[in-house]
């Protein structure tokens, strides 16, 4: 008796791309707030409520006034979110289609004109949320693909027309949109992942002569960390004829630069994400280099190398965000301390440690304090050569200094104390 194989279920139809109109409605709801200063958002507890009979719907563009009735600006409203208002404009007139096109043009002109990123790469951040006047929206360009992270209900509702404007400006053909589950919970909306028809599963990008594969399925964030571009580039000058350890390597960015541009003697890339290590192998093959690729937890690997008395001329330490929220600040600080104690013990005398934190809740001064304590615990003398951050396609709005999330400390490790 032959077995009849069940008919496989049909894949679900692609989610429709939200296409709410960009221009503000004719009769805008008006929200009253107690205070804002120049912050790009207003907490829900500071909103007194709508003025008049018109109640805003979730995701609406609303007019914002103070208690005396003075105009403050226009914002996206989400009464279910802790960040209830996200400002779009402080102008007297509400946002229209030209407003949105102008914001995208301004963002593109910065990257293509002033920064001239096209000379070095085909991968960069096009829109960096509040710093580009588009709160709750991050757009990275990877060659012909726009890879998007949305953390605002109002932006998600308008993502179709926004991406149309971006594609018209840049000439890209594909997009993919992701919503972090934690963010969706905070904003209280079910943002489904979106993708354009025929989105390629991967693209190849180049950066300062180094080639990388960007896979979209199961990737972190938008798929590639453009923020470390300048730090990857500058690490190479310290690597000639040295052994290099790229801890928490993701897809091997620092290790590849050490070998290809820095002429390192050898490079070892370590990451707990097995898929990331597989892509790092692809990247190595694409560039005809052979780093040692290790699938392991960074804590355990660094500890074992210490037991083995292994030393490296350069160590790059770029862990994932260890402080995702305020409740985890103490534990995250301890993790940064422990990691850096282990890393410092592995750097040879006169070697370099590039150690990073992408936790926005950890101020630079406190990160330096952790490194000072780690050097003392490790018994090493360390000198800070520079403290850098994200590449300039990740600008920081002065009214939102927490946008300067990335800290990269360049430490010269000297003799033991």
What pLDDT digit, counting tens, does each position of 36-51 carry?
A: 677 889 999 999 878 8
Q: Hey, which residues does 42 pair with through a beta bridge?
A: 85
The 10s digit of each residue's pLDDT in 183-218 is 788 888 878 889 999 999 999 999 999 999 999 887
Beta strand spans in 248-291 (E): 266-271
Lowest mean pLDDT among 2-6, 23-27, 348-352, 365-369: 2-6
What per-residue confidence (pLDDT) applies to 237? 96
- What whole-number distance in Å separates Cα of residue 161 and Cα of residue 142? 20
- What whole-number distance in Å separates Cα of residue 314 and Cα of residue 266? 11
Same domain membership, residue 106 and residue 75: no
What per-residue confidence (pLDDT) applies to 403? 86
Same domain membership, residue 396 and residue 353: yes
Whether residue 276 lies inside any domain: the answer is: yes
pTM above 0.85, yes or no: yes
The CATH number linked to 42 is 2.30.130.10
Of the pLDDT bands very low, low, confident and very high (cuts 50, 70, 90), residue 1 is very low
Same domain membership, residue 173 and residue 292: no
Per the prediction, the chain carries an average pLDDT of 92
CB atoms within 10 A of CB 96: 13
Higher pLDDT, 8 or 71: 71
Higher pLDDT, 220 or 111: 111
- What whole-number distance in Å separates Cα of residue 124 and Cα of residue 376? 38
Query: With contact defined as beta carbons under 8 Å apart, do 41 and 149 qualify?
Result: no
Whether residue 299 lies inside any domain: the answer is: yes
- Comparing CA positions, the residue from 101, 98, 124 lying closest to residue 113 is 124
- What whole-number distance in Å separates Cα of residue 150 and Cα of residue 102? 20
Whether residue 10 lies inside any domain: the answer is: no
Q: 163: domain range?
A: 97-202
- What whole-number distance in Å separates Cα of residue 131 and Cα of residue 29? 26
Q: Positive or negative, the Cα torsion across 175, 276, 151, 366?
A: negative
Q: Name the DSSP letter for residue 180.
A: -
Of the pLDDT bands very low, low, confident and very high (cuts 50, 70, 90), residue 401 is confident
Q: Name the DSSP letter for residue 121.
A: B
Same domain membership, residue 158 and residue 35: no
Q: Which of 65, 89, 113 is the last residue of a domain?
A: 89
The 10s digit of each residue's pLDDT in 53-110 is 678 899 999 999 998 899 999 999 999 999 999 999 999 999 999 999 999 999 999 9
Kindly state the tokens that stand for 327.
């409740």
Q: Positive or negative, the Cα torsion across 58, 361, 396, 123?
A: negative
- Comparing CA positions, the residue from 42, 100, 92 lying closest to residue 71 is 92
Q: Which of 187, 202, 217 is the last residue of a domain?
A: 202
148 phi and psi, to 5 degrees? -125, 140
What per-residue confidence (pLDDT) applies to 53? 66
Same domain membership, residue 271 and residue 351: yes
Higher pLDDT, 2 or 412: 412
Rg (CA), the chain: 24
Residue 11 pLDDT greater than 70, yes or no: no
Of the pLDDT bands very low, low, confident and very high (cuts 50, 70, 90), residue 125 is very high
What's the mean pLDDT in 136-157?
95
- What whole-number distance in Å separates Cα of residue 11 and Cα of residue 226? 33
The 10s digit of each residue's pLDDT in 354-370 is 999 999 999 999 999 99
Whether residue 18 lies inside any domain: the answer is: no
Q: What share of the chain is helix, strand, coil (3-state, %, to 5)?
A: 30, 30, 40
Kindly state the tokens that stand for 29.
């709801």
Higher pLDDT, 188 or 24: 24
Residue 404 pLDDT greater than 60, yes or no: yes
Whether residue 69 lies inside any domain: the answer is: yes
- What whole-number distance in Å separates Cα of residue 204 and Cα of residue 184? 30
Query: With contact defined as beta carbons under 8 Å apart, do 216 and 140 qualify?
Result: no
Residue 290 pLDDT greater than 50, yes or no: yes
């Amino acid at each position: 008796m032959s077995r009849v194989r069940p008919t496989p279920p049909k894949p679900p139809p692609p989610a429709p791309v939200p296409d709410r109109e960009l221009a503000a409605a004719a009769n805008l709801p008006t929200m009253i707030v107690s205070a804002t200063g120049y912050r790009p958002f207003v907490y829900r507890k500071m909103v007194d409520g709508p003025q008049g009979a018109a109640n805003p719907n979730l995701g609406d563009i609303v007019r914002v006034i103070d208690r005396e009735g003075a105009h403050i600006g226009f914002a996206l409203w989400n009464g279910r979110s802790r960040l209830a208002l996200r400002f779009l404009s402080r102008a007297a007139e509400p946002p229209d289609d030209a407003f949105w096109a102008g914001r995208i043009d301004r963002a593109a002109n910065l990257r293509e004109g002033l920064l001239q990123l096209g000379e070095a790469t085909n991968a960069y951040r096009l829109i960096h949320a509040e710093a580009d006047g588009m709160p709750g929206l991050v757009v990275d360009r990877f060659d012909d693909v726009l890879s998007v992270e949305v953390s605002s209900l109002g932006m998600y509702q308008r993502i179709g027309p926004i991406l149309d404007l971006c594609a018209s400006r840049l000439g890209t053909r594909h997009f993919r949109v992701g919503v972090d589950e934690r963010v969706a919970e905070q904003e209280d909306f079910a943002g489904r992942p979106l993708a354009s028809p025929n989105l390629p599963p991967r693209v190849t990008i180049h950066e300062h002569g180094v080639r990388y594969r960007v896979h979209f399925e199961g990737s972190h964030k938008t798929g590639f960390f453009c923020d470390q571009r300048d730090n990857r580039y500058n690490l190479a000058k310290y690597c000639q004829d040295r052994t290099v350890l790229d801890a928490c390597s993701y897809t091997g960015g620092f290790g590849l630069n050490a070998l290809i541009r820095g002429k390192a003697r050898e490079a070892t890339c370590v990451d707990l994400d097995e898929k990331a290590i597989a892509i790092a192998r692809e990247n190595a093959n694409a560039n005809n280099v052979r780093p040692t690729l290790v699938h392991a937890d960074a804590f355990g690997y660094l500890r074992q190398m210490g037991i083995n008395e292994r030393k490296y001329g350069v160590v790059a330490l770029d862990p994932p965000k260890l402080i995702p929220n305020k409740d985890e600040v103490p534990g995250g600080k301890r993790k940064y301390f422990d990691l850096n104690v282990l890393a410092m013990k592995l750097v040879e005398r006169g070697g370099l440690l590039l150690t990073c934190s992408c936790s926005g809740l950890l101020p630079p001064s406190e990160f330096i304090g952790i490194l000072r304590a780690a050097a003392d615990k490790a018994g090493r003398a360390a000198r800070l050569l520079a403290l850098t951050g994200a590449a300039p396609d990740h600008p920081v709005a002065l009214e939102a200094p927490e946008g300067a999330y990335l800290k990269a400390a360049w430490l010269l490790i000297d003799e033991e104390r």
